[in-house]
Amino acid sequence: MGRGPRLVLLGRQGAGKGTQAQLLADNYGVEHLSTGDLFRAAAAEGTSAGLEAKRFMDAGELVPDATVIRVVEDRFTGDFLNRGFVLDGFPRTLPQAEELHRVLDGHPLDLALDLEVPTEIVLRRIAGRRVCEKCGATYHVDMPPATEGVCDSCGGRVVQRDDDTEEAVQRRLELYEQETVPIIDFYCNLGKLSAVDGIGETDDVFKRLVDQVEQHFDPQSP
């Protein structure tokens, strides 16, 4: 018996991070932490941090680093670090990556997986994307839930995200290039980056990701 892997999943909006992060977390029995899901849940609850985050999200802007760090920091308990995790949507800026590096002190990241899907393809995927308000499960107009508008796994409402408008998506993709692509170099310099082709069936992409984890993660390492 060893521990679970500590993973970061990078990739453009619509690359399939949410779906693959959940599959990886289930596969390794570790927690899936999505900052997007955290902020959407906080906004739905109407907490002040949630409502503040929602203003940025709906405009396609990034939530300020200080707010993001305040919200996620509580999650990085000793237990969370020891068991392993899959981070989805965090870090998204260089200051966030540096903060994560500090927080992980003594529990190094095993791998940052960059899920590569070109912009033309993610634009098409996002236009048809639908999401469960309650559990974050994602659907597509071509692959809807069994009952129109009702989540298969939790019965929540399946809707289009407020930030999946064309303008907000353009802005988010622009910010990905400016703010998030530098993180790819950051992990590359640490020798922790694996790029994975994100085009194809969900299962095939998942196998590619697991393959990388198996090559780079040692469950017996500290």
Contact residues for ligand ADP (CB under 6 A)?
A: 13, 35-36, 39, 56-57, 61-63, 68, 89-90, 92, 96, 163, 172
Which of ligand ADP, Zn ion, none binds 68 (CB below 5-8 Å, type-dependent)? ligand ADP
Q: Does 131 bind Zn ion (CB under 5 A)?
A: no
CA-based diameter of the chain, in Å? 48
The residue within the footprint of Zn ion, chosen from 49, 69, 103, 135 (CB under 5 A), is 135
Identify residues 45-104 at the interface with Zn ion (CB under 5 A): none
Catalytic site includes residue 129:
yes
Of 12, 17, 54, 130, which residue is the catalytic one? 17
Q: Is 132 in the site for Zn ion (CB under 5 A)?
A: yes
**Contact 57/163 with Cβ under 8 angstroms?**
yes
Handedness of CA 115, 76, 24, 168 (dihedral sign): negative
Q: How many C-beta neighbours within 10 Å does residue 191 have?
A: 8
Nearer to ligand ADP, 114 or 163 (CB): 163
Q: How much of the chain is in helix, strand and coil states, percent to nearest 5? A: 50, 15, 35
Choice between 87 and 193, CB closer to ligand ADP: 87
The interface partner of residue 36, options being ligand ADP, Zn ion, none and the CB cut-off 5 to 8 Å by kind, is ligand ADP
Q: Which is nearer to ligand ADP, 6 or 92 (CB)?
A: 92
Full 3-state SS string of 195-210 = EEECCCCHHHHHHHHH
Q: Are 71 and 45 contacting, i.e. CB atoms less than 8 angstroms apart?
A: no
- The region of 69-77, 92-100, 153-161, 199-207 touching Zn ion under the rule CB under 5 A is 153-161
Q: Is 172 a catalytic residue?
A: yes
> 130 - beta bridge partners?
139
Least distance between ligand ADP and beta carbon 208 (Å): 20
Instruction: Specify the 3-state DSSP secondary structure of 165.
Output: coil
- In which element (H, E) is residue 158 found? strand 158-159
Residues with active-site annotation: 17, 92, 129, 161, 172
Binding region for Zn ion (CB under 5 A): 132, 134-135, 137, 151, 154, 156
